[in-house]
Structure 1
Amino acid sequence: MTTTTATLSSPSSSSVPRRSVFLGVDVGTGSARAGLFDEIGKLLGSASSPIQIWKEGDCVEQSSTDIWLAICTAVKRALSISDIAGEQVTGMGFAATCSLVAVDSEGQPVSVSWSGDTRRNVIVWMDHRAVKQAERINSCNSPVLQHYGGSISPEMKPPKLLWVKENLPESWSMTWRWMDLSDWLSYRATGDDTRSLQMFCKWTYLGHAQMQHIDENSSGDMETHRWDDGFWEEIGLRDLVDGHHSKIGRSVAFAGHSLGNGLSPDAAKELGLLAGTPVGTSLIDAHAGGVGVMESVPDSKANESDDDDDDDAICRRMVLVCGTSTCHMAISKSKLFIPGVWGPFWSAMVPEYWLTIAGQSATGSLLDYIVDNHVASSHLANRAASENISLFQMLNDLVAQMMRDMETPFVAALTADLHILPDFHGNRSPIADPNAKGMICGLSLDTSDRQLALQYYATVQGLAYGTRHIIEHCNEHGHKIDTLLASGGLSKNALFIQEHADIIGCPIILPRESESVLLGAAILGAVAAKKYSGIRGAMKALNAAGQVIHPSEDPRVKKYHDAKYQIFRQLYEQQLSQRAIMADALS
């Protein structure tokens, strides 16, 4: 039985006529969520519904049928608790994880699983089954790889497609369309197979080559002439070139482009909305988070400069979308190629800007792993439940209590003897090593609640050192990042955000509305409904700043983190040395 969770914001006044309402849908790793926003970007109400996931070794799979049903449940629930009729929704947009969907000529699911289960037709973004295929593709040294930091990740689409062809030939021959999950959602809703320029990011589509002359406010729809056919042939996927790329996308558009005739009658009925409701071209969930937060700056900053300075200011910001993984995104007016970092991708998030994407493959999932696999976890979880707080709030409280009890000069000093390299699911950026492993230095036989809190805290710091490494690397290659904006579930964790501010040395702006991915998806609908001239205009109208977290001014804290950061960087070098020793022993 499907269950839902919901939140509701109080309307300012029931007597005030309702303004336009924009619906955003976000499919994450564990749930589908729906949120309704007004014309100033205020959340009116949201709901979520869980989705099923299968994990077997490196294979992680989902069902597009299950995902769509969860979306319908979440949308109807959000409408109900917000007291909004479906006819009042002005426009809608979809965001989702960058997972891969396989469907046949009738739009029915095709299995991508060893099990042959036809429900399991989605290879989830975090799936690492295609590591060997990625290594083979990277050995080709194709020119397209320059947009992926020099090497493609097993989390991207070409390695996964090659894996299916080599291991599941029947599924390969049956599949009529291979789609990004977010593109499949908009296709399922409208019947329009126009894809988003986000395909540049995961599929090797060269979005800039033929699209730069198209204005954001035009349709942006065109025949796709900038797939690099030679790349697909070289890696063994020539059959994707045949048929004029019909299996991977013939036409593309800017995010927020109005698709087809809007919601189809069938989809409208399933969602509880009006047929013909405008639907915008979709975005990857992290990119939607960027759209939902990047202009969330305090009024003093937003009003202090002219348009040229404004363009420069937005290019000094980096967005952190922190959830199961963390995506780090920055934009620029010029092409910046950065080793080990994805991009630049033209107009893949904000139209007419180049997008740089770095990331950590495991953040929230790593914190869960560290906590769940400690002997004190169940005891601490029971304590948290009895006090009606989250387990992570309990851990944060324990860290604060330990500082008081141990009389340390500042809280970070608690981890002086505990160092963690957080690459438990490989390193996405900036080292781009999917074979990297996590490391913990400083363990003892202590099994207490407090020791668990210290391991959790050191992991938070390790993740922040990883983000510092990413920012330093990007700035060394042309970016000028000096401000961070954070969204996603982990942005609600005060300890997580403060440690990032202290370790990186930048202020971190939190948005007024915490559901930035849902807001970004809703912005796609607002643009599709022609309520705003384009994505950037909608961002300025609907984004709003909340709290600003500043780094510690205590010079001892900076000195401490500089020292721990040096150790953090050394841990990976030690791992490489150990790998070489063992490779020699096995040769």
Structure 2
Amino acid sequence: MDHRAVDQAKRINATGSPVLQFAGGGLSPEMEPPKLLWVKENLPESWAVAFRWMDLSDWLTYRATGDDTRSLCTTVCKWGYLGHAHLQHQSNSDTVAMEACGWDDVFWQEIGLSDLVEGQYTKIGKQGDMLHSQAIRLGTELGLLEGTPVGTALIDAHAGGVGVMEGVPSKDESITERMVLVCGTSTCHMAVSPEKVFIPGVWGPYWSAMVPGFWLTEGGQSATGALIDHLISSHPASSVLLERAKLQKTSIYELLNEILDTLASHPDVLFQGALTRNLHLLADFHGNRSPLANPDARGVISGLSLDDDPRSLALLYLAAIQGIAYGTRHIVEHCNSHGLQHVEVFLRTRSTCNNMQTSQARCSVILPREKESVLLGAAILGAVAAKKFHNVKEAMEALNAPGLVVEPSRHDTVQKYHDAKYKIFRSLYDQQVVYRQQLDAVLGC
């Protein structure tokens, strides 16, 4: 959610460094190089005394072991580390040993962070430290017994991917035909492929950053769960519904779904999605992470009225769910049109309104049996580190399991309706760009 480094990201991307092609063509302000440059420029005293710069994942591993081994997941996905450089695979192991450093000296020098190159990148993960799912040797202040294996950590969303990627009812289709949606404050859309695929505006390709031996493509929406929470909390009816939910010992989301079910039961309503025929929402309230890669984008709501009752909140909630789902459709269509193998199925880590999203995105949705998929992914890494399985892929196949399968509506009218709303969704962004250009011309920006 931290977008303070937008200016730094723009300056870094203006260098045209070859490193950028492995981040969708440009770094996001959500990644570490722009954030580090922001700290250096705005907090020079802190910059001068910093001993190490770490992601939370690597920090936890470090505190558990005393070993500064960095995760290939964090460094490749967020730091500009070229994990595919000079790889040497060890048979029957997920360890990825580096013959040479994957840091690009010229890149760090060009963006104004040449001081990190000193000491072979000791402050951000020195040469030869990149291991994936490797058991580490000792425990420390956390009470771990010495010799307890600790698996190298993953980013939270990527652990969720490990926790669901193999969770399908049938193993017939390829793992490359699946896309994992890890949903929380934001949403990550992750797919793997045997060959690297360069997709403008979509992060990656990242070598072995989630599933060992595969290239990771990572789309995303910067605010999804956070957007829904914002729309609910800022609506006049939220306090009434929150109090009602407390009394009924349920969630506000369940109450909103009940309101929508009641509204959809009216004989004049063909299906629930049609309730928002006059209400449209572009979900880029916190910028567009992909595929437009525009942190300056903003949200749009078309069709607001003066209504302030629970019904109006339920309709706004439905419009938000639809807008987020259309954003997913945009990402999938963009990825497929740029060479990613056709995505046939989504695997989601949380279940809020999944039934509303299948038709909009035109794919089946599989909910995993284990709702806390991020924790399951972490447990899989721990199981491999403890040598309970030979490798991550084997552990995933053994421990992932499907739950509910939700199919999209095949009704012709439903599909045509969502196709039409999707075109409106896309036009909301296009109109925003035109409006900005017109006013920028007036102001001389």
* TM-score, L = length of structure 1: 0.74
The aligned residue for residue 41 of structure 1 is none
Distance in 2 (alpha carbons) for counterparts of 1:364 and 1:435: 19
1:175 aligns with 2:50: yes
SS at match of 1:243: helix
Describe how 1:7-406 pairs up with structure 2 within 5 A: 126-198=1-73, 199-215=75-91, 217=93, 219-222=95-98, 225-250=101-126, 251-259=128-136, 261-264=137-140, 266-268=141-143, 273-298=144-169, 301-302=170-171, 304=172, 313-405=174-266
1:498 aligns with 2:374: no
From 355, 359, 370, the equivalent of 1:513 is 370
Shift of 1:149: 1.4
Shift of 1:387: 1.5
The alpha-carbon distance between structure 1 residues 232 and 253, as it changes in their structure 2 partners (threshold 3 A), is closer
SS at match of 2:120: coil
Distance in 2 (alpha carbons) for counterparts of 1:156 and 1:195: 16
1:413 aligns with 2:290: no
SS at match of 1:140: coil
CA contact (8 A) 1:337 1:343 kept: yes
Deviation by residue 1:427-485 (Cα, 9 ceiling, x = unmatched): 00100000000000001111111001100110000000000000011111112111110
Deviation by residue 1:214-259 (Cα, 9 ceiling, x = unmatched): 4461653547612001000000000000111000101344432112
The aligned residue for residue 405 of structure 2 is 548
SS at match of 2:205: strand
The alpha-carbon distance between structure 1 residues 212 and 410, as it changes in their structure 2 partners (threshold 3 A), is farther
Distance in 1 (alpha carbons) for counterparts of 2:147 and 2:14: 47
Distance in 1 (alpha carbons) for counterparts of 2:268 and 2:208: 51
Distance in 1 (alpha carbons) for counterparts of 2:205 and 2:94: 23
SS at match of 1:204: coil
Distance in 1 (alpha carbons) for counterparts of 2:100 and 2:5: 26
Distance in 2 (alpha carbons) for counterparts of 1:192 and 1:221: 16
Distance in 1 (alpha carbons) for counterparts of 2:181 and 2:79: 22
**Letter paired with 1:538:** A
The alpha-carbon distance between structure 1 residues 218 and 289, as it changes in their structure 2 partners (threshold 3 A), is closer
Deviation by residue 1:299-324 (Cα, 9 ceiling, x = unmatched): xx12x4xxxxx6xx100000000111
Distance in 1 (alpha carbons) for counterparts of 2:267 and 2:42: 56
Question: Gaps (5+ residues) in structure 1?
Answer: 1-125, 305-309
The aligned residue for residue 474 of structure 1 is 335
Q: What is the root-mean-square deviation of aligned Cα atoms in Å?
A: 1.3
The alpha-carbon distance between structure 1 residues 130 and 193, as it changes in their structure 2 partners (threshold 3 A), is same
Deviation by residue 1:15-47 (Cα, 9 ceiling, x = unmatched): xxxxxxxxxxxxxxxxxxxxxxxxxxxxxxxxx
CA contact (8 A) 1:280 1:525 kept: yes
The alpha-carbon distance between structure 1 residues 381 and 210, as it changes in their structure 2 partners (threshold 3 A), is same
Distance in 1 (alpha carbons) for counterparts of 2:317 and 2:425: 16
SS at match of 2:86: helix
SS at match of 1:453: helix
SS at match of 2:241: helix
CA contact (8 A) 1:464 1:503 kept: yes
Distance in 2 (alpha carbons) for counterparts of 1:468 and 1:168: 40
Deviation by residue 1:121-168 (Cα, 9 ceiling, x = unmatched): xxxxx2111111011111111111111111110000000000011111
CA contact (8 A) 1:503 1:561 kept: yes
SS at match of 2:195: coil
Distance in 2 (alpha carbons) for counterparts of 1:395 and 1:262: 49
* TM-score, L = length of structure 2: 0.97
Paired residues, what number? Answer: 441
The alpha-carbon distance between structure 1 residues 392 and 218, as it changes in their structure 2 partners (threshold 3 A), is closer
Question: Gaps (5+ residues) in structure 2?
Answer: none
CA contact (8 A) 2:286 2:299 kept: yes
SS at match of 1:357: strand
**Letter paired with 1:331:** V
Percent identity over the alignment is: 58
CA contact (8 A) 2:32 2:79 kept: yes
Distance in 1 (alpha carbons) for counterparts of 2:125 and 2:99: 9
CA contact (8 A) 2:72 2:209 kept: yes
